[in-house]
Structure 1
Amino acid sequence: MVDTPTTPEPAGQVSDAVRGNWVDHLAPAATRPYLRLSRADRPIGTWLLLLPCWMALLLAMLSDGQYSWFDLWIAVGCAIGAFVMRGAGCTWNDITDRDFDAQVERTRSRPIPSGQVSAKQAAVWLVVQALIGLCVLLTFNTSAILLGVLSLVPVAVYPFAKRFTWWPQVFLGIAFNWGALLAWTAHTGSLGWPAVVLYLAGIAWTLFYDTIYAHQDTEDDALIGVKSTARLFAEKTPQWLQGFLIATVSLMALAVVLACLDRSPLSLVVALAGPWAMGWHMQWQMRKLDTEDNHLLMMLFRANRDTGFIPLLFFAAACFL
């Protein structure tokens, strides 16, 4: 039998990175450790940060019926901000967690514990990304700018949450869905109840997908004393996930109703189909779930990009009705 030749993995590749990603194969070698710090080789986090922004923007447009070219910039600005601020948040997380990461199989190949960059170099990269995010934020109205600055508080706290609470996923949800508040405010000029309820729906959704994600590390987390909802729920995880699913769909549906009070009945029905269809996609994840299969857990976690795109399609369609 002739052995089939295999392509060696790129030097420094992080263990849970998407295989064949552009960072490991196309980016200049000197930039790769920094792009890995930003999780550019694992884009799912950027999508999960961005999608609540776009949901809120579309609901704001549904709410007041106002559409402008500046809304296009809000959408693009949120995309740029999601990329750089997710990168900044991940860099901060890796700086604070570098000792923990060195003890966990899945994370010990990250740039700091593997020696690709120092904590000081990572801190400089953190500042660069934050400044880019600030430049985007300053193009929005004053209320949105203030919300953007305030978002730094949960971002700063999150990496420490797993050290003092079994519910660090709540802190992640608070940080990751902040864009829903910001994007709504960037469009309307002030915060509204639909955005707040959508924000709560996003937190429930984060509890759903990040509990799935956290099950990959339960054994290592138990050894080093790191807390998570995955460890807390253990064999009861499916029941808890079902509850988060119901909360996500119910709260998002309420946000749609509040945003569409002055819309046509057809527009309301189409928009409400968004959370309904999203719920079915989350239910599909529930049917596939096996908390002992790490490969499947990662696949399901990444599938939440599609979960979040589903309501966007319905919200966009409702804007034309």
Structure 2
Amino acid sequence: MTAWGSEGTSAPVADAGKGNWVDRYAPPVTRPYLRLARADRPIGSWLLLLPCWWSTALASIAAGRAYPDPGLLLLFAIGAIAMRGAGCTWNDILDRDIDRQVARTRSRPLASGQVSLPAAFVFLAFQLLVGLAVLLALPRFAIVTGVASMGVVAIYPLMKRITSVPQLILGIAFSWGALMGWASVFRSIDDPALLLFAGSVCWVFGYDTIYAHQDREDDAMVGIGSTALLFGNKSRLALTLSYLACFGLFATALVSAGAGLFSALGLMGFGLLLYRQVVRLDIEDGARCLALFKSNRDAGLILFAGLCADAALLHAVAAGLL
């Protein structure tokens, strides 16, 4: 038995990396819940966090600050972990019957019986409370902005039942942080934040299409939609167009915020990794699709580093230090 008394035997999830920290170090009683929150696969938390950090760094450039507020970055990191975990828990609650029919997901804690449904709801409530605590620590305008995202987050897991493009809804949900950082700094949402948000939606749409190719056959069998099924052999073209739109929108956001050389270099590095994904895409190779999907964390960190370096450079120039 695990926590709360009604769960089955703890066992690793099939698509988690071997030797991940949850399987190696977490107390056995906590492992099913950490797996439910995808703590054994932190890539999702990174991908939710990065638009928050980009937005905060871009706002720092526009505000003439030398660096993004470290406290704000930390709050967003905690919030991203909590809300990504809550989103995954909610997704698994709604999809528990579907997950039992798909090879990659039938070992998930709810589908496999490691966690009971009542326990999953309790765990969901705990994660939402952590997310709420983070949200309440932000300025009032940012709180309102964050609350506005809850509807999209709640309906996303249902979208694959009614549409062939659930990746678009995921893009909106995962890109909301592109508004949050700017809203926390300026108490408003201005053109750079909107452009960054739109570009991030295109980015998420692209990388989640790559990810969806792992489940293409199972999704078709179960009868749920995805852009992997919609685009099929034209996925490379769809990915190219999505990433080109992302790059163009990001470039426009940087220009409109007054960004400079290091931001441009960071964007070029980001773009090169996106180009690599397009070139190396093989929709028949699930392992490669997963590796390309995960490479988006590194792409996003390169862009963030460029934005931070630019904030420092532009502040030094404005202060007459350079």
TM-score bracket, normalised by the shorter chain, equals over 0.9
Counterpart CA distance in 2 for 1:92 and 1:45 is: 15
Counterpart CA distance in 2 for 1:270 and 1:179 is: 22
Counterpart CA distance in 2 for 1:11 and 1:94 is: 17
Question: Per-residue CA shift, 1:232-256, capped at 9, x if unaligned?
Answer: 0000000010001101100000110
Aligned runs of 1:76-225 on 2, under 5 Å? Answer: 76-225=74-223
Aligned-partner residue type, residue 168 of structure 2? V
Gaps of 5+ in 1: 1-9, 261-266
Q: CA deviation at 1:68?
A: 7.6
Question: Per-residue CA shift, 1:7-30, capped at 9, x if unaligned?
Answer: xxx951001112111111111111
Deviates more, 1:168-177 or 1:274-283: 274-283
Q: CA deviation at 1:270?
A: 2.4
Q: CA deviation at 1:149?
A: 1.3
Aligned-partner residue type, residue 125 of structure 1? F
Tell me the SS of whatever aligns to 1:20.
Answer: coil
Which residue of 2 is the match for residue 6 of structure 1? none
Q: 1:316 aligns with which of 284, 288, 308?
A: 308
Give identity over the alignment, percent.
Answer: 49
Aligned-partner residue type, residue 206 of structure 2? F
Counterpart CA distance in 2 for 1:278 and 1:68 is: 20
Counterpart CA distance in 2 for 1:49 and 1:191 is: 19
Which residue of 2 is the match for residue 55 of structure 1? 54
Which residue of 2 is the match for residue 286 of structure 1? 278
The answer to whether the 8 Å contact 2:212/2:226 transfers is yes
Counterpart CA distance in 2 for 1:80 and 1:11 is: 26
Question: Per-residue CA shift, 1:245-273, capped at 9, x if unaligned?
Answer: 1011000001101111xxxxxx5232122
The answer to whether the 8 Å contact 2:273/2:295 transfers is no
Tell me the SS of whatever aligns to 1:319.
Answer: helix
The answer to whether the 8 Å contact 2:56/2:73 transfers is yes
Aligned-partner residue type, residue 14 of structure 1? V
Q: CA deviation at 1:212?
A: 0.3
Q: CA deviation at 1:67?
A: 5.2
The answer to whether the 8 Å contact 2:48/2:80 transfers is yes
Tell me the SS of whatever aligns to 2:260.
Answer: helix
Aligned-partner residue type, residue 57 of structure 2? L
Structure 2 length as normaliser, TM-score? 0.92
Q: 2:265 aligns with which of 270, 273, 277?
A: 273
Q: CA deviation at 1:98?
A: 0.6
Which residue of 1 is the match for residue 33 of structure 2? 34
Structure 1 length as normaliser, TM-score? 0.93
Counterpart CA distance in 1 for 2:241 and 2:88 is: 28
The answer to whether the 8 Å contact 2:66/2:312 transfers is no
Tell me the SS of whatever aligns to 2:112.
Answer: coil
When the two chains are superposed, the root-mean-square deviation of aligned CA atoms in Å is 1.3
Counterpart CA distance in 2 for 1:129 and 1:66 is: 33
Counterpart CA distance in 2 for 1:86 and 1:184 is: 20
Question: Per-residue CA shift, 1:127-169, capped at 9, x if unaligned?
Answer: 0000011111111110111111111111101000111111100
Question: Per-residue CA shift, 1:80-123, capped at 9, x if unaligned?
Answer: 00000000000000000111111000000000010000121111
Counterpart CA distance in 2 for 1:18 and 1:193 is: 39
Tell me the SS of whatever aligns to 1:116.
Answer: coil
Which residue of 1 is the match for residue 319 of structure 2? none
2:303 corresponds to 1:304: no
Counterpart CA distance in 2 for 1:97 and 1:225 is: 13
Counterpart CA distance in 2 for 1:18 and 1:143 is: 39
Tell me the SS of whatever aligns to 2:154.
Answer: helix
Counterpart CA distance in 2 for 1:256 and 1:291 is: 33
Aligned-partner residue type, residue 48 of structure 2? L
The answer to whether the 8 Å contact 2:52/2:177 transfers is yes
Q: State how many pairs are aligned.
A: 305
